[in-house]
Each structure stands twice: as C-alpha cells, then as structure tokens.
Structure 1
Amino acid sequence: MTTATSHAYRVTPARILRSETHKLRTLRSTWITLGSAAALVLSVGIVMGATYTSDGGDSDVDTVILVLYGSTLGTLCTVVLGILVTAGEYSTGMIRASLTAVPRRLPVLWAKAAVFTVTVFGVMAAAALITFAAAQLLLHDTDQAASLTEPAVLGAVLGNATGTTLLSLIALGLGALIRSVPGAIGAFIGGVMVLPEVLTMLPYDAVETAVRYFPTQAAGVLGSATPLPDAAPVGGALLALVLWSAATLGAAALLLRRRDA
C-alpha cells in the first residue's frame, strides 16, 4: 500500500508537463494574449491585402512580410504572455507552491518553456497560415499574388511563427531572471528591441555585423521568402535566435538554483 501510494504521488516529467499545461490553459491571460495576437495578425493581413495596389510603390516588399506585417504587434502580445508565465508566478506567490511540489526546481522551468513554446508556435503558425490564405484571396490579381507551394513561401510563413515563438521564449527567460513583470517588460523593450537600433548608429562594421544576429533582426530574416539585404542568412539567424533563447533560459536556470523563491 505504501509503495502504491508513493508511486501515485511521484514527481515525474510527464506530471510536471501536465501541471504546467493545466496552469497555462486555465489562465485567462493566456487566451486573451494569444487571441489578441492572432486577431492582430489576421486583421492587419486582411487590411494589407484589401488596400494593396500594384502601382502603390510596395511591389518590392516581400509578399510574406507584407501579408504578415501584423505579426510585429502579435509578437508584443506573446512576449507579454511569456513574461507572465514566469514573472507572474513570482508576483502572485504561486511559484512557492510550484517549487515545493518540485524541489529540484529546474524541471519546472523546462516544463514551462516546453509547454509555452508548443502553445505559442501552434497558435501563431495557424494564425500565419490562415492570414496568408485570406490575404491572398484579395491579392490574387496583383503582383503580390503568391502560393504556399512556391519556393520558400511556406518556410517563411512558418519561419514567421518560429521567430515570434523564440522571441517570446526569450521573454519567458527574462521573466524568470528578473521576477518582475514590469521589470522584464522593460528589459525586453530596452535590451531586445531598442538596443540594436542604438548600436546601428555606431560607425563600426563589426557592430553592424553583430547586430544582424540580434533577436529581432534574426526573427525578421526567418519571416521573409526572399533574402533581405544586409541581413544574416536564414540558417545563421535561426541558430542565433536559438542560442539567445538558450542563453536566457540557462541564466534563469542558474539563478533559480541559487536564489530563494
């Protein structure tokens, strides 16, 4: 009886994942932010498709970038959600219960990251695909008409969702590092969005090259069906985003082991 009881309450990776999935899905903020992100992508895409004219001067804009321009706004929503997933638990005190249930601590962070990544990518990939299809119904007789079967188009549409997901995963790591929702949002805006723009003002080729691999610049490369001028290659941009995410989560993991909840 004792063995059966202890087995029933054993902490396993599957049960931690189930717990984090339940927490993410039952939070009202999850559906508000994800719904807002998807709605922004779709609404902006439809507006871009409905208002586009072949003689309007935007014919040189990549089709996927044009149609999924709203993903920039959608990313802000998923970034906030990523911060809420980690820093939000510290603000409510829920993190103490989570770490009491899982004393080893790190599996909680890995489970949060895994559940969040799968959820955000699924929603944003669906939003990008639906938006692209809807916008192309309006662009079928223009020079921006395209199909998912054309070379690099499907990859760019899914790359757009991948970029959004990895940027949001960086935000999740910042939330775990800083443990404050306003502080993590400020750090993301200042360090991820504003800092690269400031660095581009410096007259050094090395700095210009390095900035190409910063998170927001790398994410932009993934969402383009045609090579962007003065940008990193797709493979390098994806690797850079993965490394930025891994570094942020790694730093959060290190401090999680050393600091009290």
Structure 2
Amino acid sequence: MITPARVVRSEWHKLWTVRSTWATLLTSVVLVLGVGVLMGVTYTSGGGDSDVDTVVLTLYGSQLGGIALAVLGVLLTAGEYATGLVRATLTAVPRRLPVLWAKAAVFTGVVFTLSLLTALLTFQVAQVFLDDTDQAASLTDRGVLAAVAGNAAGVTLLGLVALGLGATLRSVPGALGAFVGGVIVLPEVLGMLPYEGVETLVRHFPTQAAGALGSATPLPDAASPAEALLALVLWATAALALPAALLTRRDV
C-alpha cells in the first residue's frame, strides 16, 4: 500500500544514494564556513566593512553556498527526468503529487538542518577571530540567533524555488539558467530602474528577501523580516504549485 510515509522514505533513500547530493551539500558547507573564516581572519576594526551587520558579514558565504543547494534542488527534480528514473517513480506512485510533496519535504528537512548547523558553526568560528574587533557578537545578542536561523530559512526557501523550477522545466540546464537569470540576475537589473514601484517589487524578490531574513539589524531599503519570510514562502509556494498542476495534466 502506498502511503505518504513510504513515499517520503523512498525519496529520502534516493536523495542519499546519489553522489551529487554529497557533493553539493559538502560544497555548500565548505563555502559558507570557508568564507566566514576568511572574513573573520582578514577583518580589521574601522575598515570598510565596519558598518556591515555582524551576521551578514560572517555568513557572507551563504550566497555561494545557497547556489550549491539550489543546484541540489534542481537535480532532485529535473535530474530524474534527465535519467528517465521519473517514469519508474510515477509508475510506483500513480497519484503523482505525493512524489513532489515528498521531494519538497525531504529537501526542506535536510537543507534547513544542514544550513542551520553550518550557520551556527560558522558564526561561532568567525567570532573567535572577531573577538577583539567592533564586529564582536554573541548568539545571545539581540536579533543574532533569529538572523542565523533566518539565514538558514532563506537559503532553504531559495532551494525550494530551484526545486520547483526543476520540476516545471524538467531540464537541469534550463532550470539552472532560469534560477540564475530570474532569481539572481533579474532583480539586480530591475534595481537599476529609477521607479519606486520597481524598488518595492525588487525588495520582495527571493534573493533580496533572503538577505533581509539573515540580518540581525534592519537593512536599508529592505523588507522587514516578517515581510521577507512571507515573500519567500509565497515564491516557494508558487514555484511548487506550477509543477503540481502540470503533473496532473501531463502523461509523465
């Protein structure tokens, strides 16, 4: 009998038996931790980064690590179409939609847990080098722990957007191109336009919203943490809703 728990267990097994999972997760951890340590080692008080939020400074590598996790999200869905494994998966689960929800649930659980642990470790290690500087901080300081958790949530939701793009386009190169072009590059281009309405829109784009979530202090011209979280949840929901609709209409 097919049950949600069994579908989730199947997707969990598939995730960990693919080498790309280990490669992308390890790459993300190394990038976040490596950049965080580099920031801590090279930082000097009163320099050009003295006005940067401490959490943003120490977790700057999340921008790169998040791309690695987005790649994992794309591979988790579009990768099955590339290998043809999706036919066996949808034959085993003819209702189809539980497969998409199981992939999203497994991805969310793994990525959020790993991202949160990596962010906590990176922040603590970086603070060893920042202890005698104007960027010295503690997890117990106001807003710091929430920002660290927000960083992990932002990276996870960005990955879910990539997962949804992979399920929609069913092409690894196409989904990666759409993620880089539509999620990363497009808001930067739109941000150059001198229109207030466009500025408001850009503040709620996925990458900008994720940045606002990962800051312990309010960022200038950025959405509030609550608005940023809502925007990211809506983006991720929309990214998953489209492939969900397509799954019920296509043969494969």
Q: TM-score range by the shorter chain?
A: over 0.9
Residue 40 of structure 1 corresponds to 31
Pairwise CA RMSD: 0.7
Within 5 A, what are the aligned runs for 1:1-261?
10-261=1-252
Q: Give the Cα–Cα distance (whole angstroms) in 2 for the partners of residues 106 and 55 of structure 1.
A: 54
Tell which structure's C-alpha radius of gyration is larger.
1
Q: Give the Cα–Cα distance (whole angstroms) in 2 for the partners of residues 133 and 45 of structure 1.
A: 10
Deviation at 1:203, TM superposition (A): 2.1
Deviation at 1:207, TM superposition (A): 1.0
Q: Percent identity?
A: 69
Q: Give the Cα–Cα distance (whole angstroms) in 2 for the partners of residues 231 and 66 of structure 1.
A: 17
- Counting matched residue pairs gives 252
Q: Give the Cα–Cα distance (whole angstroms) in 1 for the partners of residues 166 and 56 of structure 2.
A: 29
Q: What is the CA deviation profile of residues 164-217 of structure 1, one whole-angstrom value per residue up to 9, with x for unaligned ones?
A: 000000000000000000000000111111111111122211111111101010
**TM value normalised by structure 2:** 0.99
**TM value normalised by structure 1:** 0.95
Unmatched 5+ stretches in structure 1:
1-9
Unmatched 5+ stretches in structure 2:
none
Q: Give the Cα–Cα distance (whole angstroms) in 2 for the partners of residues 11 and 107 of structure 1.
A: 10
Q: Give the Cα–Cα distance (whole angstroms) in 2 for the partners of residues 94 and 17 of structure 1.
A: 16
Q: Give the Cα–Cα distance (whole angstroms) in 1 for the partners of residues 128 and 186 of structure 2.
A: 38
Deviation at 1:57, TM superposition (A): 2.3
Q: Give the Cα–Cα distance (whole angstroms) in 1 for the partners of residues 130 and 185 of structure 2.
A: 33
- Corresponding residue SS for 2:248: helix
Q: Give the Cα–Cα distance (whole angstroms) in 2 for the partners of residues 130 and 180 of structure 1.
A: 35
